[in-house]
Structure 1
Amino acid sequence: MCYNPPTMLLEHLSLANFRNYARLELDMPHNVGLLVGENGQGKSNLLEAIYYLATTRSYRASNDRELINWLATNEPLPHARLVAKVHRQGGAVQLELTLLGQPERPSDEAPTDEDGLNGRLSLFQPPTASLQKKIRVNGVPKRAIDVIGQVNVVMFGPQDLDLVSGAPALRRRYLDATLCQTNRRYVRVLQRYNRVVTQRNHLLRRINAGHAHPEELAYWDDELITLGSQIIANRREALSLLDGMARDINGQLTDGQEHLHIAYRCSIETGDDIAAGFRDALARYRARDIQAGMSLLGPHRDDLAFLVDGVDMRIYGSRGQQRTVALSLKFAEARYMCGVVGEEPILLLDDIMSELDTNRRRWVLQAIEGGGQVIITATDVDAYSPQFLDRTVVMHVRAGIIEQIGIAH
């Protein structure tokens, strides 16, 4: 996907009490690995474990407790442990993540989203109640914010159709996750920005209730503008690159019949001076924010639009078009990461062939050949040519147990 770059390699994966894996020690193939098995056997769980180690969050679970093997939840100290040994251009990296919990207690409390940040979709989730997350990098204790970017992964799965057809929060989270893996400063700015939004919203509710004065917003407005302007600028810069890459890939997937454009839809009108536009918008809509008790403008309210020949794919795209757009975006993300960090990311492809036609399947197989490390899941090998399988490590997955049944030549 990049021109002859170094490749980061996940060399070994160790799991204990993660999902349906009670114990797993697995040497990973250095090129392409194909996980084959019936539904519900643990193929997607393995990809989720790799993604979780790289980003410290799951792309499927709304609660980290769901990641602990259900048999372990009855133990006095429920826990799950994940370890990855990765080779990078700068040297070896070992990531270790342990979830420690208490025996689960029933609760009638529903999660809330008073701050409008779509908490379950936020890149930075607070620890689950009575669950500790302990992280080490090369044996040294680290915070989650320090782990993101140590290993770069790109995940494509059935849920990614929602990037095109789903809620704006999904698209914001996707773009933020991509930037966080490649820009350590962005991670910290985003985290600070989310805290500022929370504090400002708390003050807005106090003002609305008559317990504070609107002039007290000045400090939080300045912080919102400073941090939010950086986020918008970084997103636009990244998207300008992703847009060109995705357009090229989408053209290849559609034989040049469709032309994709990804547009950044900002909640504020900004010209070259983002901060000035942001400040003007906050002043004009202050009364509305106070009435709502919520910050209604800023990058936490922005969106992406996927346009094919000018047509919005979220509203008017067929399922096949939306899947092609999502596929184009994900392979563009891999190119983007490679260009920024100088190494091929690890590509995780969950059931990628199930809804692709013959031409798109052929394109995918050509795209991953000769690239970096790729882990694919499938219920069978029918979609793969004998020539491809000859160069692939095939592993059978059944009830959380993996058996290697084919070795790449």
Structure 2
Amino acid sequence: MLNQITLSNFRNWSSLHLDLTERSILIGPNGAGKTNILEAIYLLAVTRSWRAKSDRDLVGWQADVCRIVGSNPAIEMAIQREPYLKRIKIDGLEKKATEAIGHLVIVLFEPRSVDLVTGAPSIRRRFLDVLLAQVNQNYAKSLVELQLVLRQRNHLLRRIAAGQSQASEVKFWNQELVRNAEIIWQARRDFFVVAEDLFPSVYQELTGQNIAKLKYEPSIPAEHSYEERLEEHWNQDVDSGSTSIGPHRDDFDFILHGFDASGVASQGEARSLVLSLKKAEIKYLSSNMGKDPILLLDDIFSELDASRRARIESIIDNHQAIITTTDLEHLDPHLRESFNIVEIEKLKE
């Protein structure tokens, strides 16, 4: 359990020390800094923000460096704006970002989570990457290497199209692409073996209806050779100056009543699909990590009707949970009684 979080020059918090219990509610008006606290915890877990385009945006505007410190486990992160630098320590030992992921395990619920159903494939890939990087450090390392390889390969493709490089030069980058892609695809296939089996029953538990499925859509089938497919797409890749197939083109679908849910689901059904996915995510992390994730719930209760609020409360179960809200009336009285309530404005006094 994360016992404490300390912030220095992080977003709007010049200084904050907050003791956390197994269940905490952070209450305050919009703009008070509630979400910034969740963001800091998220950063300690996965080393990147789900909100900021750049780590530099996390540093308070009057400061050069921000710091986040969590205890149990002991994790510290410092971000310097200029020149840019990020340092992470676990139990006092400096770690690379890919080595730090997984020491603190989280699941995030936030209003835009419904975009998992209706949004672009990149949103769903981001979900997979955050989940699987926490479980598998090799996955996290291969993701980083994949992005580097794609940049180099795409740059070379543009040079080849301009007559400035030879086609033979791409062989090395193809090999590196295949090597990292296989690690990523294997982890994703392993997850969907579990998730595709688990998801229908989780959705039925939450809604009473057995009408939903998940379907993994890799950019190429597992039985196909990635190297051969890269050769088949060679002319297309050279013309476009980009790599048209690979893990960076994967997707997965929510299936509702036998159809792609992005086109048929109501807003309420989309929220139920996301809640089901989040519950499956929690189960997968608990099973594979040997410890329960911390649940970060950012102002989602105001977006839900009473029945879906009750479902969220059942998902919280025995996990450490940190909830933000602008109004306690959005929460069930029983839930309020079992949580430690932290008034954000009083933390600034």
* TM-score over 0.5 for the pair: yes
Shift in alpha-carbon separation, 1:309–1:34, aligned structure 2, 3 A: same
Count of residues in correspondence between the two structures: 349
Instruction: Provide the TM-score with structure 2 as the length reference.
Output: 0.95
| 1:89-100 matches, cutoff 5 A | 93-100=73-80
1:259 deviates by 2.1
Q: Determine if the alignment matches structure 1 residue 62 to structure 2 residue 66.
A: no
Rounded to whole Å, the distance in 1 between the matches of 2:303 and 2:289 is: 31
Give 1:212 deviation, angstroms.
1.8
Asked whether the 8 Å contact 1:269–1:281 carries over to 2, the reply is no
Paired letter, 1:292? S
Query: CA contact under 8 A between 1:41 and 1:400: conserved in structure 2?
Result: no
Name the counterpart of 1:25.
17
Bigger CA drift: 51-60 or 236-245?
Answer: 236-245
Matches within 5 A, 1:11-90: 11-29=3-21, 31-70=22-61, 72-73=62-63, 78-86=64-72
Alpha carbons 2:203, 2:276 under 8 Å: kept: yes
Deviation of the 1:101 alpha carbon? 2.2
CA shift at 1:27, angstroms? 1.0
Equivalent residue number for residue 89 of structure 1: none
Distance 2:222 2:196 in 1: 20
Paired residue type of 1:376: I
Displacement of 1:399 in angstroms is: 8.1
Give the percent of matched residue pairs that are identical in Structure 1 and Structure 2. 37
AA partner of residue 96 (structure 1): E
- Counterpart residue identity of residue 227, structure 2: R
Distance (Å, rounded) in 1 between the aligned partners of 2:91 and 2:232: 50
Runs of 5+ consecutive residues of structure 1 not aligned to the other structure: 1-8, 87-92, 103-129, 403-409
C-alpha separation in 2, matches of 1:330 and 1:288: 37
Query: Residue 311 of structure 2 aligns to which amino acid in structure 1?
Result: W
- Structure 2 regions of 5+ residues with no counterpart? none
CA–CA separation in structure 1 for the residues paired with 2:346 and 2:232: 58
Whether contact under 8 Å (2:7, 2:69) holds in the other structure is: yes
Specify which of 196, 199, 213 is matched with residue 261 of structure 1: 213
Distance in 1 (CA, whole Å) between partners of 2:35 and 2:120 is: 23
Q: Match for residue 378 of structure 1?
A: 325
Query: Following TM superposition, by how much is the alpha carbon of 1:97 offset from its aligned partner in structure 2, in angstroms?
Result: 0.7
* C-alpha distance after superposition, 1:352-408 (max 9, x if no partner): 211222222112212223x12110111112233333322211111128638xxxxxx
Q: CA deviation at 1:319?
A: 1.8
CA distance in 2, matches of 1:81, 1:400: 18
- Quote the residue 2:154 is aligned against: 201
The structure where helix makes up a greater share of residues is 2
Q: Which residue of 1 aligns with 2:81?
A: 101
Q: Does 1:162 align with 2:115?
A: yes
* Pairing 1:144–2:97 present: yes
CA RMSD in angstroms comes to 1.7
Measured in 2, the distance between the counterparts of 1:229 and 1:23 equals 44
SS of equivalent to 2:78: strand
Distance 1:267 1:387, change over 3 A: closer
